[in-house]
Amino acid sequence: MLSLTHTEITTLPDNTRLYEGVGRMFILQSKEEINNQLTDKQKTADEKIKELEQKKVYLERSVKEAEDNIREMLLSRRAQ
């Protein structure tokens, strides 16, 4: 959505009146300000994706360790 909006805004002439939705109202913003906000949101989204990927790797490792521990416990009980 961000890249689509950014693409659409860049095709508009510089003197186009753009409005940002804030709650139940709209605020007149310049094209440059809206582009800056979209760029900031994209950077934030990219950072969140990286953070979530790191968490995914950590959780996958934790699950694998837990599975290994359960297998080891089951094998030790069978051996008794």
Query: Which CATH number fits the domain that encloses residue 6?
Result: 1.10.287.370
pTM, full prediction: 0.58
Q: Which amino acid is at 77?
A: R
Count Cβ atoms below 10 Å from residue 62 Cβ, excluding itself: 10
- The pLDDT tens digits of the residues spanning 25-35 come to 999 998 888 88
pLDDT of residue 9: 86
Q: Indicate the pLDDT class of residue 39, thresholds 50, 70 and 90.
A: confident
DSSP state of 14: T
Long-range contacts of 37-46 (CB under 8 A, 24+ apart): 38/2, 38/5, 38/6, 38/9, 39/6, 41/2, 42/2, 42/3, 42/6, 45/2
Q: Indicate the pLDDT class of residue 80, thresholds 50, 70 and 90.
A: confident
Expressed as residue numbers, the domain containing 63 is 2-79
Mean pLDDT of the chain: 90
Query: How many folded domains does the chain comprise?
Result: 1
